[in-house]
Amino acid sequence: RKQLHVAEGAAARRRKSGVRSRPSGSRPSEHGFSRPTAPVTRVVEVPEAITVADLAKLMAIKAGEVIKVMMQMGMMVTINQSMDQDTAILVVEEMGHSAKPAELKDIESELIAEEETEVGDAVTRPPVVTVMGHVDHGKTQLLDTIRAANVVAGEAGGITQHIGAYQVKAGDNAITFIDTPGHEAFTALRARGADVTDLVILVVAANDGVMPQTVEAIDHAKAADVPIIVAINKMDLETADPFAVRGALTQHGIVVEDLGGDVPAVEVSALTGDGVEDLLEIVALVAEVEELTANPKAPAIGTVIEGQLEIGRGPVATVIVQRGTLKKGDAIVCGTVSGRVRAMFDERGGQVKTAGPSAPVLVSG
């Protein structure tokens, strides 16, 4: 049987001949390392929030040393405790390193900026409407009346939860209302770059007329360059004067159709419900003229209206899908937060598996 013979190395031949090798201690150092003679100073990029353990990793030290320094600074912390950016920078500098705020990687913008792969054609989508106006002019009452009129007759408990937005039916058309009335919420959405609103309903009380917040709401709607529909509310009062309201609006650039302009005006009573159906018809008509479309087969993009922590559900957010279809199990990114859609609920508390363009859903992730 053939055998493989391997030549022995020089070390093995020396062992057989009795020649002993030199002790390892007398060998010259084979590695090129030398003991540092001065402390290593690092430049640490500190994010907006960081735990003690993560901060220790960035400085390549043990977490116990960070805790010790923070105790000397008068802060009692644990290894998993989170601290803000300013505190972390102070700790880093106290330990002899240099610190600077970390540049946030806006993954959300990068995803939106990516080239979209369009699959399929755009279809007509429901309009998204925001109700604005002066305080006590009936914004909330009008929204409640619209929502109550669309509750299925005999439904136990009616609408079971508040999700910040809801969708109603106006004939064959659907309309999505953002249930955060007031120009503050509208301005906050626009400040975040979220042009989610397609129409603005400007509520003006027929007995009060144009007030300071009414003017602010007009300015915000004009800045957003969205159509305005005037709802002259409180027509059930004896002191109601809708013609004075129409005249006062012209002083602020709102000329209603009755006076030869192009802004629709509807007389309603949020208390009795009179004129609400006419208002919804006008909203559907204006939306049809605007030709609002979206591609339901594209990757889902939406806007978070509000978010909160709920017992039993964890983090939840009211989302209005603007493009594509959001499905249960999808991975989502919102600013610096990421996660996965565990469940979705409509405004009546029922679970849904998909949400198309302009659909408001409560997302649990």
Res 300: pLDDT: 86
How many other CB atoms are found less than 10 A from the CB of residue 312? 5
Stated pTM of the model: 0.66
Would you place residue 116 in the very low, low, confident or very high pLDDT band (cuts 50, 70, 90)?
low
Would you place residue 141 in the very low, low, confident or very high pLDDT band (cuts 50, 70, 90)?
confident
Angle at 180 between CA 244 and CA 238, to 5 degrees: 30
Rg (CA), the chain: 33
pLDDT, tens digit (0-9, with 9 covering 90-100), for 353-364: 988 888 888 888
Pairing label, strands 326-327, 354-355: antiparallel
Res 233: pLDDT: 92
Q: How far is residue 262 from each of residues 9, 150, 223, 243, 257, measured CA to CA in Å?
A: 98, 29, 18, 16, 5
Res 27: pLDDT: 56
CB 347 within 8 Å of CB 159: yes
Res 264: pLDDT: 92
Give the whole-angstrom CA distance, residue 131 versus residue 203. Answer: 7
Mean pLDDT of 112-119: 54
Put the strands of the sheet holding 343-345 in their side by side order: 301-310, 314-323, 360-364, 343-345, 351-352
Res 107: pLDDT: 59
Mean pLDDT of 315-335: 87
Q: Token pair for residue 305?
A: 């209206």
List of residues 6+ apart from 150 with CB closer than 8 A: 168, 169
How many other CB atoms are found less than 10 A from the CB of residue 96? 11
> Which DSSP letter does residue 145 get?
H
Most confident range (mean pLDDT) of 219-223, 306-310, 327-331 is 327-331
pLDDT, tens digit (0-9, with 9 covering 90-100), for 153-212: 434 333 334 567 888 887 778 888 886 555 566 666 665 555 788 888 999 999 888 888
How far does Cα 38 stand from its chain's mean position? 47
pLDDT, tens digit (0-9, with 9 covering 90-100), for 8-34: 555 555 565 555 555 555 555 556 666
Would you place residue 6 in the very low, low, confident or very high pLDDT band (cuts 50, 70, 90)?
low
Res 67: pLDDT: 92
Q: Is the pLDDT of residue 232 over 80?
A: yes
Of 225, 217, 230, 227, whose CA–CA distance to 279 is shortest?
Answer: 230
3-class DSSP state of 191: helix
Residue type, 263: V
Among 39-43, 128-132, 157-161, 249-253, the range scoring the smallest mean pLDDT is: 157-161
List of residues 6+ apart from 265 with CB closer than 8 A: 229, 230, 231, 232, 242, 246, 256, 257, 258
Of 208, 226, 168, whose CA–CA distance to 217 is shortest?
Answer: 226
Mean pLDDT of 58-75: 90
> Which DSSP letter does residue 240 get?
-
Give the whole-angstrom CA distance, residue 267 versus residue 274. Answer: 8
Would you place residue 222 in the very low, low, confident or very high pLDDT band (cuts 50, 70, 90)?
confident
The alpha carbon dihedral of 25, 26, 31, 32 has a sign of positive
Res 20: pLDDT: 56
- Considering the chain, what is the average pLDDT of its residues? 80
pLDDT, tens digit (0-9, with 9 covering 90-100), for 300-321: 888 888 888 888 878 888 888 9
Res 108: pLDDT: 58
Pairing label, strands 173-178, 165-170: antiparallel
**Total length of the chain:** 365
Among 8-22, 211-225, 245-259, the range scoring the smallest mean pLDDT is: 8-22
Mean pLDDT of 113-139: 75
Q: How far is residue 217 from each of residues 102, 135, 202, 221, measured CA to CA in Å?
A: 38, 11, 7, 6
